[in-house]
């Protein structure tokens, strides 16, 4: 599956919208079809490397959408929120795709 992402390639660089390939969700993961997303101060901090992050990186962690797929260990059918609890881990995982 392909998705659009805001990618930063170098410190202080411009955000570039490009397509990235996504794998199916693994255990403990969900795939969310993002309907709206925003950039915030955290994204600028990462872009400027005040919060050291391997580059290139996919930025943007404020989003809203609908869960499209779930990992094999998912058992509940009730609506839920998907928090990004560990920003660095989430960004590293996205950057690796």
Q: Residue ranges per domain, the chain?
A: 2-95
Half-sphere exposure of 13 toward its Cβ, with a 13 Å CA cutoff? Answer: 14
For the domain made up of 2-95, the CATH class stated in words is alpha beta
* Cβ–Cβ < 8 Å for 20, 3: yes
pTM value is: 0.66
pLDDT in tens, 22-59: 888 888 788 888 888 888 888 999 999 998 899 999 98
Is the pLDDT at 60 greater than 60? The verdict is: yes
Run of H or E including 69: strand 62-70
């Amino acid at each position: 599956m392909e998705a659009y992402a805001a990618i930063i390639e170098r410190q202080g660089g411009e955000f570039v919208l490009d397509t990235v390939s996504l794998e199916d969700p693994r255990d403990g993961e969900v795939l969310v079809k993002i309907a709206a997303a925003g950039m915030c101060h955290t994204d600028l901090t990462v872009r400027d490397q005040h919060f050291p992050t391997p580059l290139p990186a996919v930025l943007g962690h404020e989003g809203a959408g609908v869960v499209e797929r779930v990992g094999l260990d998912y058992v509940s059918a009730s609506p839920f929120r998907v928090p990004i609890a560990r920003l660095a881990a989430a960004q590293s995982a996205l950057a690796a795709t």
